[in-house]
Amino acid sequence: MNTLIQLEIGVLLIDTATQQPVVMLKDLNEERALPIVIGLSEAGAIASEMERLQFPRPMTHDLLKNLLDTFQATLEKIVVCDLRENTFYAQLHITKDGEELLVDARPSDAIALALRAGAAIYACESVIDKAAVSTSKLQVEEPPEPEELHVPEASDDAELIKEFLEGLREGDFGKYKM
């Protein structure tokens, strides 16, 4: 059995070289961080839950959480369980009527759902060994005082949401900073 390492979101950022969103998961000892490139819509879903934004209608990950609740199932944890050809794989560990169900998922979707369900985030030690970076190698500047953020509405187009995410600084995430 592969040992599981509990993680938490360190920061959500845009990689300036690729212009892709990256979620940095850090271990609880803050020694290693696991950078995972994610899609723009998943970054929006993660960021909106980190900021506790409410939308007039449920977004996709809210819908998934509502389905779990409706069917009296519990998301116990998510596990980033594999890394093959530079692609991460994850599983949802769901309990329903005392039975554990495993459901394959993209890590970004699993993280967005875990945030909504209050579920723990883990990675297999083998994945951490392959892809994690030492947090001592990460250069984190002291963020300036946060300014008032204009958060795009759910009805805004993808370009506005992308601009919003690109403009975020580490300090904009408060307690989630690395």
Judge whether residue 126 has pLDDT over 80: yes
**Distance separating alpha carbons of residues 85 and 59, to the nearest angstrom:** 30
**Tell me, what amino acid is at 64?**
L
User: Residue 115 has what pLDDT?
Assistant: 96
**Distance separating alpha carbons of residues 55 and 11, to the nearest angstrom:** 23
Domains defined along the chain, listed by start: 4-176 (3.10.690.10)
Q: Are 90 and 78 in contact (CB under 8 A)?
A: yes
User: Residue 58 has what pLDDT?
Assistant: 86
Judge whether residue 174 has pLDDT over 70: no
Query: pLDDT, tens digit, for every residue of 70-116?
Result: 999 999 999 999 999 999 999 999 999 999 999 999 999 999 999 99
List residues bridging with 53 in a β-sheet: none
pTM: 0.76
- In this structure, what are the phi and psi dihedrals at residue 95, rounded to the nearest 5 degrees? -110, 130
pLDDT band at 172 (very low <50, low <70, confident <90, very high): low
**Distance separating alpha carbons of residues 75 and 66, to the nearest angstrom:** 11
